[in-house]
Structure 1
Amino acid sequence: MDFSIKACDWSKGAANGFLNGKADVVVIGVFEAQTLSGAAREMDLATKGLVTRVIKAGDMAGRAGTTLFLPEITGIGASRVLLVGLGKQDVFNQKAYGEAVRAAWRAILGTKIAQVAFTLAQLPILERTGDWAVRTAILALRELTYKFTQMKSKPENGTRALKKVVFSIDPADEKAAKVAVKQGAALANGMDLTRDLGNLPPNICTPTYLGQTAKKLGRDWKLKVEVLGQKQIEALDMGSFLAVAKGSIEPPQFIVMQYQGAGSGKSAPAPVVLVGKGITFDSGGISIKPGEAMDEMKYDMCGAGSVFGTLRAVAEMGLKINVVGIVPTCENMPAGNAVKPGDIITSMSGTTIEVLNTDAEGRLILCDALTYAERFKPSAVVDIATLTGACIIALGHHNTGLFSKDDALAGELLDASREAVDPAWRMPLDDEYQDQLKSNFADVANIGGRPAGSVTAACFLSRFAQNYPWAHLDIAGTAWKSGAAKGATGRPVPLLAQFLIDRAGQ
């Protein structure tokens, strides 16, 4: 799909010939009970009052989310106009814009329209700029067109008709909007990779498959990739990671991917390290889960998937920043040799851990990865994991849980979440919660009981992240959807990518 920008000053009449350009449809926004302005006014003039007549007839009142096709139009380059209701102009914010954009794309995707002239990104959105509007429109379109059909013998959807979108934008925003087009496409491609990995069945998306995917990503985007196997992991003394992997016949993999957009060598800036939980199937181990919805435990590698997707997006954008992606990946299965409740294991750091529940396995593989991350002398480390059901109870499915004792890093991530419209909420990480992890027999227990379960999980991880700025994102409630809409969401790739864009100063 091709996206492009055309600068248009609607105060100067026909705006650089935008309405006369080659397109199958022009998308125009109409505010509720508001005098026509901008592109809507110029469209009305070009069609000799057609938009005004449609509004007066009551066919388009401008209510939010409504759409109306006007066919067989004369006076402009396109044969059709799509009117999109925007609601009231004085409250037209990012949410209202997102709803309008999705309504427009849904209407268009139900047709054979191939080329679109799109004016909505030029609307006055409260506290947002034109480049943000362009990127948001691209991501909304790509989300609506994403389908996972790889595993069907007869794919349900053929080739999409829509091929080209031209965005009108204020001349002052033109340069930034062209960057937004590149970023939007790269983000969408990264999110699609994350969704694909999450949606693949666990008999295909195994630890070995993730290792192969990392190597392909390295070849395609010139990343430095290492995939460590069982013996190499043993040589690193990752006893905690290996304990989780013991019960499966699938061999564990420890994946390290390096993107060096800011250069390599001793003078290169310190990298940001992203650590993704890669449990490709989580049965709960000996502490086995209930059978209901256990199929959704294929999504327990969505943290790993988000690292893959973010690195792909960053590489396509060509950000001038160094990023390391670390993915410890294995299955958590019950077996005669599987780790048991009551076992005591030794992590790579030397910390001994009493395993009280084998279904709290994500933290056991992440703690060794966090220790490994120290060798990169990182400027910051962010781990991403579908870690706790408790986070879903606390925050539902809207906000990702953000945990960090570093106020500056937490602030960067929250700012990025707002800019990317990929919401996160900062959770507590007070030392008092650490008392719940006390063990009579080891240095630390792997669970702290039901109270504040997501907090104590983060507290456990914090013990292995003392030597660098660190944050933890619990995406258990945001990485996938259940029910009729079942599928991976691609989150938090937008948040992570925006965080890295901001860090790179781009």
Structure 2
Amino acid sequence: MNSVSGELTNLLESSRTVPMRVFVVSRLKKRGFQILPCFFSSSRLNVDQKGTVIGVKPSEVGTSDDADCQIDFFTKFGKKLAKTFFLEDIVKRTNFKGLKGQCLPLYGLRDSSLLVLSGLGKEDSTTFECVGDYIDDGINQLKESIRVAASVGVKQLMKDGCTVIEVDTMGDPAAAAEGATLATYHFHQLKTLKQNYSKNTMEDVRISPLNAHEEVCLQSWSKGVIYAECQNLARTLMELPANILTPSSFCERTVQLFNNFSDSVRCSIRDEEWIRGQGMEALYTVGKGSIEPTMFLEIEYCSSPEHAVLQDPLVFVGKGVTFDSGGISIKPSSRMEQMKADMGGAACVVGVIKAVASLGAPGRVIGLIPLCENMPSGDACRPGDVVRTRKGLTIEVENTDAEGRLILCDALSYADELYPDARAVISIATLTGAMDVALGAGATGAFCASRLLYTVIEESGHEAGDRFWRMPLFRHYQAQIKSDVADIKNVGGRSAGACTAAALLQNFISNKRFAHLDIAGVMHASPFEGSVCPYLSRGMQGRPVRSLIVLAEKLFSKERVYK
């Protein structure tokens, strides 16, 4: 390759301080290329620009601290591209090292499209390379690196105006598809002025696997897209404000969502008359302070008529409080707007069943979703009130802001009666602020009496990139929720708030294969906190939808039986 002049070298070295580095490469001689650095803003790119993401990692020779660190291209296509366009020589003159979270845009290499080299990081890394790196938590590091690399590359290309993007599958098409699809998400449905949202959105961008001709690769990619789209669905439901997503409209949207799955999915919407007829007074009491009617939504997925008679379905119970003001025990105004997402558990259940139905996974999955608003009014539940649950136990309401456990206890009692031999019963809820204090956005708190079931939950998280942390269900916590005037009370004091909430739920389920997932900490990522996952933007996260999809597949797999 021709030598680069000292002046050109200085220009390339100065590119380290430029936020965006774009190199226009032109062939001048048969024996090599002359590299001409050209810096310009993304706004000057063609709006119909095509883009390609190529995964790279630091070479085995050299270290990540070496300024001239060599890089390895992950796939055969990447290696061919690197050889054709002398990419390693270009990279040597930049500060790009192939670390996780790094990307290097190169313009004009392939069909006048924008090429982005996206770093996977070193496989044996034991130190943080970027925000969101997972260390010593069992997460599949290779899958997570691929998700991050795909997402970082796609975000860069979208920023530069690309609408047609090909992504290097990097040896795992499903993981690459997940990262790429999750990266495109941005909630903008309620914005009317174009300057108020990004140039390209997920509806404008077409993403496909690069050079993927094998059927197995395409199937794996499609599966990853479904996983990510269903998490994005949960994110959208959580982002919708409470004046748009009421209990009734949640049911209507869900029914419309499953219209294309009429052969395998059945939705049943229950009204207040049905709720009171079932003796679900705890659920009814929480919602009676709002003008919005309380609802109960049942979703049933059966992959085939044979599975419809299975007596051991997988049951998900999702908390569906579409807005939680706290009721008479009203919340502080700070961050109360986020309580539109107090139906995050319900959103996750819809996302999981949508994915299972889209994949045509074998088995029978049930979703039970109690829906209401928790509002203060003359009809609202008061502190000190005693309510009778569907199971017959009475609960003293000491704090009306501890409403999630009240609506879940009736739903769990219903599940316990209808599906006593369920393969597993899993409740998902943004239940307690105490869980956010304990674990933050780092992990979902998992309360599970069955070690075997928790193992499957944890394994699912490792595969999907979510952390779970097992929390205690000691009998000790039952003593904290004893009431002087009723069987139990809905709060157990300041100590162990998340544990006493889970302890209350245990009184309404007899199935030993029961798990309660408190997702309060992983619900949202603020602009100040950032996201734990680099491929998830700020806002509602939709976690842990992908883990629960993996869980459903594992629980119905032929290789392992969970009974």
TM-score (norm 1): 0.86
Matched, 1:102 2:140: no
Q: Tell me how far apart the structure 1 counterparts of residues 518 and 396 of structure 2 sit (CA, whole Å).
A: 22
Whichever residue aligns with residue 52 of structure 1, its letter is: E
Q: Compute the displacement of 1:503 (Å).
A: 2.0
> Residue 7 of structure 1 corresponds to which residue in structure 2?
none
Alignment partner for residue 53 of structure 1, among 89, 112, 121? Answer: 89
Alignment partner for residue 447 of structure 1, among 484, 491, 498? Answer: 491
Give 3-state SS (helix, strand or coil) of 2:108's partner. coil
Q: Tell me how far apart the structure 1 counterparts of residues 424 and 466 of structure 2 sit (CA, whole Å).
A: 20
Alignment partner for residue 383 of structure 1, among 424, 427, 433? Answer: 427
Matched, 1:154 2:181: no
Q: Compute the displacement of 1:53 (Å).
A: 1.8
> Residue 113 of structure 1 corresponds to which residue in structure 2?
162
Q: Tell me how far apart the structure 2 counterparts of residues 266 and 62 of structure 1 sit (CA, whole Å).
A: 50
Whichever residue aligns with residue 166 of structure 1, its letter is: P
Structure 2 matches for 1:282-293, cutoff 5 A? 282-293=324-335
| Aligned residues with identical type, % of pairs | 36
Q: Tell me how far apart the structure 2 counterparts of residues 459 and 489 of structure 1 sit (CA, whole Å).
A: 27
Q: Tell me how far apart the structure 1 counterparts of residues 308 and 181 of structure 2 sit (CA, whole Å).
A: 40
> Residue 66 of structure 1 corresponds to which residue in structure 2?
102
Q: Compute the displacement of 1:323 (Å).
A: 0.6
Alignment partner for residue 274 of structure 1, among 303, 313, 316? Answer: 316
Alignment partner for residue 212 of structure 1, among 215, 235, 252? Answer: 252
Q: Compute the displacement of 1:342 (Å).
A: 1.2
Matched, 1:403 2:447: yes
| CA shift digits 1:109-140 (9 cap, x unpaired) | 12243444433523xxxxxxx2xxx2222222
Q: Tell me how far apart the structure 2 counterparts of residues 58 and 482 of structure 1 sit (CA, whole Å).
A: 33
Q: Compute the displacement of 1:307 (Å).
A: 0.8
> Residue 541 of structure 2 corresponds to which residue in structure 1?
489
Q: Compute the displacement of 1:59 (Å).
A: 5.5
Q: Tell me how far apart the structure 1 counterparts of residues 372 and 228 of structure 2 sit (CA, whole Å).
A: 27
Q: Compute the displacement of 1:292 (Å).
A: 1.4
Q: Tell me how far apart the structure 2 counterparts of residues 408 and 213 of structure 1 sit (CA, whole Å).
A: 35
Q: Compute the displacement of 1:217 (Å).
A: 2.8
The verdict on how the C-alpha distance between 1:85 and 1:384 changes in structure 2, with shifts beyond 3 A counting, is: closer
Whichever residue aligns with residue 459 of structure 1, its letter is: A
Structure 2 matches for 1:225-244, cutoff 5 A? 225-244=267-286
Q: Tell me how far apart the structure 1 counterparts of residues 312 and 179 of structure 2 sit (CA, whole Å).
A: 34
Alignment partner for residue 165 of structure 1, among 208, 218, 225? Answer: 208
> Residue 240 of structure 2 corresponds to which residue in structure 1?
200
> Residue 227 of structure 2 corresponds to which residue in structure 1?
187
Q: Compute the displacement of 1:189 (Å).
A: 2.2
Whichever residue aligns with residue 333 of structure 1, its letter is: M
Structure 2 matches for 1:136-147, cutoff 5 A? 136-147=175-186
Q: Tell me how far apart the structure 2 counterparts of residues 62 and 51 of structure 1 sit (CA, whole Å).
A: 13
> Residue 249 of structure 1 corresponds to which residue in structure 2?
291
Could you tell me whether the CA contact under 8 Å between 2:161 and 2:200 is conserved in 1? no
Q: Compute the displacement of 1:220 (Å).
A: 2.7
Could you tell me whether the CA contact under 8 Å between 1:117 and 1:167 is conserved in 2? yes
> Residue 468 of structure 2 corresponds to which residue in structure 1?
424
The structure in which a higher percent of residues are helix is 1
Matched, 1:499 2:542: no
Matched, 1:44 2:71: no
Q: Compute the displacement of 1:94 (Å).
A: 4.5
Structure 1 residue ranges without an equivalent (≥5): 1-22, 123-129
Give 3-state SS (helix, strand or coil) of 1:371's partner. helix
Bigger CA drift: 81-90 or 440-449?
81-90
Matched, 1:25 2:40: no
Superposition RMSD on alpha carbons, in Å? Answer: 2.5
| CA shift digits 1:302-334 (9 cap, x unpaired) | 111111111111111111111111100111111
Q: Tell me how far apart the structure 2 counterparts of residues 244 and 61 of structure 1 sit (CA, whole Å).
A: 55
Give 3-state SS (helix, strand or coil) of 1:274's partner. strand
Whichever residue aligns with residue 557 of structure 2, its letter is: G
Whichever residue aligns with residue 167 of structure 2, its letter is: F
Whichever residue aligns with residue 149 of structure 1, its letter is: H
Q: Tell me how far apart the structure 1 counterparts of residues 269 and 309 of structure 2 sit (CA, whole Å).
A: 26
| CA shift digits 1:199-231 (9 cap, x unpaired) | 111111111111212321332322211111111
Could you tell me whether the CA contact under 8 Å between 1:245 and 1:330 is conserved in 2? yes
Give 3-state SS (helix, strand or coil) of 2:170's partner. helix
Matched, 1:345 2:394: no
Could you tell me whether the CA contact under 8 Å between 1:186 and 1:314 is conserved in 2? no
Q: Tell me how far apart the structure 2 counterparts of residues 115 and 211 of structure 1 sit (CA, whole Å).
A: 35
Give 3-state SS (helix, strand or coil) of 2:398's partner. coil
Could you tell me whether the CA contact under 8 Å between 1:101 and 1:140 is conserved in 2? yes
Matched, 1:308 2:339: no
Alignment partner for residue 118 of structure 2, among 75, 79, 84? Answer: 84
Q: Tell me how far apart the structure 1 counterparts of residues 96 and 200 of structure 2 sit (CA, whole Å).
A: 31
Q: How many residues align?
A: 468
The verdict on how the C-alpha distance between 1:205 and 1:79 changes in structure 2, with shifts beyond 3 A counting, is: closer
Q: Tell me how far apart the structure 1 counterparts of residues 51 and 159 of structure 2 sit (CA, whole Å).
A: 14
TM-score (norm 2): 0.78
The verdict on how the C-alpha distance between 1:115 and 1:280 changes in structure 2, with shifts beyond 3 A counting, is: closer
> Residue 3 of structure 1 corresponds to which residue in structure 2?
none
> Residue 462 of structure 1 corresponds to which residue in structure 2?
506
The verdict on how the C-alpha distance between 1:179 and 1:297 changes in structure 2, with shifts beyond 3 A counting, is: same
Could you tell me whether the CA contact under 8 Å between 2:382 and 2:400 is conserved in 1? yes
> Residue 363 of structure 2 corresponds to which residue in structure 1?
321
Could you tell me whether the CA contact under 8 Å between 1:233 and 1:254 is conserved in 2? yes
Q: Tell me how far apart the structure 2 counterparts of residues 489 and 461 of structure 1 sit (CA, whole Å).
A: 25
Give 3-state SS (helix, strand or coil) of 1:107's partner. helix
